Amino acid sequence: MSEDIRTTAEAHEASALPCARVVRTADDAPDAPEVLPLPPEMSDEALEDKSEAQWAYERLIVYIQNFEEQLNADEEVAMGLVGGQAGVLQIEGLGYFAPDIITFYGINEDGARTQLIQHVSRLDVMLVANPKPQEAEAPRRIGFRLAKSLERKEGA
Protein backbone atom coordinates (compact mmCIF):
# COMPACT_ATOMS: atom_id res chain seq x y z
CA MET A 1 0.00 0.00 0.00
CA SER A 2 1.57 3.24 -1.16
CA GLU A 3 -0.10 6.49 -0.18
CA ASP A 4 1.45 9.83 -0.97
CA ILE A 5 1.99 12.00 2.06
CA ARG A 6 1.43 15.66 1.28
CA THR A 7 1.73 18.76 3.36
CA THR A 8 -1.26 21.01 3.83
CA ALA A 9 0.39 23.55 1.53
CA GLU A 10 0.85 20.93 -1.19
CA ALA A 11 -2.76 19.80 -0.89
CA HIS A 12 -3.96 23.41 -1.07
CA GLU A 13 -1.77 24.08 -4.11
CA ALA A 14 -3.06 20.95 -5.86
CA SER A 15 -6.68 22.03 -5.25
CA ALA A 16 -5.96 25.35 -7.00
CA LEU A 17 -4.53 23.72 -10.12
CA PRO A 18 -7.09 22.95 -12.79
CA CYS A 19 -7.04 19.74 -14.77
CA ALA A 20 -6.42 20.62 -18.42
CA ARG A 21 -4.94 19.09 -21.54
CA VAL A 22 -4.64 19.86 -25.24
CA VAL A 23 -3.48 17.89 -28.27
CA ARG A 24 -2.72 19.73 -31.53
CA THR A 25 -2.09 18.40 -35.04
CA ALA A 26 0.84 20.72 -35.80
CA ASP A 27 4.11 20.19 -33.92
CA ASP A 28 4.91 23.90 -34.22
CA ALA A 29 1.49 25.13 -33.02
CA PRO A 30 1.71 27.96 -30.48
CA ASP A 31 1.26 27.00 -26.84
CA ALA A 32 -2.38 26.78 -25.86
CA PRO A 33 -3.88 28.05 -22.60
CA GLU A 34 -4.37 24.49 -21.38
CA VAL A 35 -0.59 23.94 -21.11
CA LEU A 36 0.50 27.43 -20.05
CA PRO A 37 0.79 28.36 -16.37
CA LEU A 38 -2.14 30.28 -14.98
CA PRO A 39 -1.56 33.93 -14.09
CA PRO A 40 -0.77 34.19 -10.37
CA GLU A 41 -3.92 36.26 -9.83
CA MET A 42 -6.04 33.28 -10.85
CA SER A 43 -4.29 30.96 -8.39
CA ASP A 44 -4.66 33.28 -5.38
CA GLU A 45 -8.16 31.97 -4.68
CA ALA A 46 -8.98 28.26 -4.38
CA LEU A 47 -11.22 26.86 -7.12
CA GLU A 48 -13.84 25.77 -4.62
CA ASP A 49 -14.13 29.40 -3.45
CA LYS A 50 -14.97 30.67 -6.96
CA SER A 51 -18.42 30.73 -8.49
CA GLU A 52 -18.92 28.98 -11.81
CA ALA A 53 -19.25 32.40 -13.43
CA GLN A 54 -16.00 33.74 -11.96
CA TRP A 55 -14.02 30.64 -12.96
CA ALA A 56 -15.48 30.69 -16.51
CA TYR A 57 -14.74 34.44 -16.77
CA GLU A 58 -11.12 34.00 -15.69
CA ARG A 59 -10.49 31.13 -18.10
CA LEU A 60 -12.10 33.07 -20.96
CA ILE A 61 -9.65 35.91 -20.29
CA VAL A 62 -6.75 33.48 -20.68
CA TYR A 63 -8.19 32.05 -23.92
CA ILE A 64 -8.91 35.47 -25.43
CA GLN A 65 -5.47 36.85 -24.55
CA ASN A 66 -3.78 33.77 -26.02
CA PHE A 67 -5.87 34.10 -29.21
CA GLU A 68 -4.98 37.80 -29.52
CA GLU A 69 -1.26 37.03 -29.22
CA GLN A 70 -1.59 35.16 -32.51
CA LEU A 71 -3.47 37.89 -34.43
CA ASN A 72 -1.97 40.12 -37.09
CA ALA A 73 -1.93 43.89 -36.51
CA ASP A 74 -4.90 44.30 -38.87
CA GLU A 75 -7.12 41.82 -36.96
CA GLU A 76 -9.31 42.03 -33.84
CA VAL A 77 -10.83 39.25 -31.78
CA ALA A 78 -14.52 38.67 -32.32
CA MET A 79 -16.87 36.03 -31.08
CA GLY A 80 -18.99 33.87 -33.35
CA LEU A 81 -22.27 33.24 -31.55
CA VAL A 82 -22.83 29.52 -31.45
CA GLY A 83 -26.23 27.88 -31.83
CA GLY A 84 -28.24 30.64 -33.46
CA GLN A 85 -28.49 33.19 -36.22
CA ALA A 86 -27.02 36.00 -34.11
CA GLY A 87 -23.79 36.22 -36.15
CA VAL A 88 -20.49 37.64 -34.90
CA LEU A 89 -19.86 40.00 -31.99
CA GLN A 90 -16.71 42.18 -31.95
CA ILE A 91 -15.69 41.79 -28.28
CA GLU A 92 -15.38 45.07 -26.39
CA GLY A 93 -15.97 43.77 -22.89
CA LEU A 94 -16.52 40.70 -20.76
CA GLY A 95 -18.06 40.39 -17.33
CA TYR A 96 -19.68 37.98 -14.93
CA PHE A 97 -22.41 38.10 -12.34
CA ALA A 98 -21.90 35.37 -9.75
CA PRO A 99 -22.85 32.67 -9.40
CA ASP A 100 -23.73 31.75 -12.98
CA ILE A 101 -23.95 34.59 -15.57
CA ILE A 102 -21.29 35.60 -18.14
CA THR A 103 -21.81 38.78 -20.20
CA PHE A 104 -20.17 39.74 -23.50
CA TYR A 105 -20.31 43.37 -24.69
CA GLY A 106 -19.54 44.44 -28.24
CA ILE A 107 -20.70 45.39 -31.71
CA ASN A 108 -22.29 43.07 -34.26
CA GLU A 109 -21.52 42.81 -37.99
CA ASP A 110 -23.95 45.67 -38.74
CA GLY A 111 -22.30 48.01 -36.23
CA ALA A 112 -25.10 47.75 -33.67
CA ARG A 113 -24.15 47.72 -29.99
CA THR A 114 -24.67 44.15 -28.78
CA GLN A 115 -24.72 42.40 -25.42
CA LEU A 116 -24.90 38.64 -24.87
CA ILE A 117 -25.93 37.46 -21.42
CA GLN A 118 -25.35 33.75 -21.00
CA HIS A 119 -25.70 31.16 -18.26
CA VAL A 120 -22.45 29.26 -17.67
CA SER A 121 -24.20 25.95 -18.36
CA ARG A 122 -24.77 27.10 -21.96
CA LEU A 123 -21.36 28.63 -22.52
CA ASP A 124 -20.13 28.10 -26.07
CA VAL A 125 -17.67 30.64 -27.45
CA MET A 126 -15.99 30.60 -30.84
CA LEU A 127 -13.21 33.18 -31.18
CA VAL A 128 -12.85 34.64 -34.68
CA ALA A 129 -10.12 36.82 -36.20
CA ASN A 130 -11.97 39.76 -37.76
CA PRO A 131 -10.41 42.61 -39.74
CA LYS A 132 -10.01 45.58 -37.42
CA PRO A 133 -12.15 48.61 -38.22
CA GLN A 134 -10.43 50.96 -40.67
CA GLU A 135 -10.92 53.95 -38.38
CA ALA A 136 -9.01 52.26 -35.55
CA GLU A 137 -5.34 53.27 -35.53
CA ALA A 138 -4.06 50.32 -33.53
CA PRO A 139 -5.62 46.97 -32.67
CA ARG A 140 -7.59 47.01 -29.41
CA ARG A 141 -6.66 43.93 -27.39
CA ILE A 142 -9.47 43.23 -24.92
CA GLY A 143 -7.68 40.13 -23.58
CA PHE A 144 -4.81 42.18 -22.24
CA ARG A 145 -7.18 44.68 -20.59
CA LEU A 146 -9.10 41.80 -19.02
CA ALA A 147 -5.87 40.29 -17.71
CA LYS A 148 -4.95 43.65 -16.11
CA SER A 149 -8.34 43.71 -14.39
CA LEU A 150 -7.50 40.37 -12.78
CA GLU A 151 -4.30 41.91 -11.43
CA ARG A 152 -6.27 44.76 -9.86
CA LYS A 153 -9.15 42.46 -8.83
CA GLU A 154 -11.65 44.92 -10.32
CA GLY A 155 -15.31 44.07 -10.02
CA ALA A 156 -14.68 41.31 -7.49
Q: Per-residue DSSP letters for the chain?
A: -------HHHHHHHHHSPP-----S-TTPPPPTTTSPPPHHHHSS-GGGS-HHHHHHHHHHHHHHHHHHTS-TTEEEEEEESSSS--EEEEEEEEEETTTEEEEEEEETTS-EEEEEEEGGG--EEEEEEEPPTT-SS---HHHHHHHHHHHTTT-
Of residues 69 and 8, which shows the higher confidence score? 69
pLDDT digits (tens, 9 = 90+) for 79-115: 887 666 768 888 888 889 888 999 888 888 888 888 8
Q: What is the pTM of this model?
A: 0.68
pLDDT digits (tens, 9 = 90+) for 12-40: 555 555 677 777 777 888 888 888 888 88
- Can you give the pLDDT at residue 111? 84
Domain definitions of the chain by residue range: 8-152
Q: What mean pLDDT comes out for the span 70-83?
A: 84
Of residues 112 and 9, which shows the higher confidence score? 112
- Can you give the pLDDT at residue 51? 92
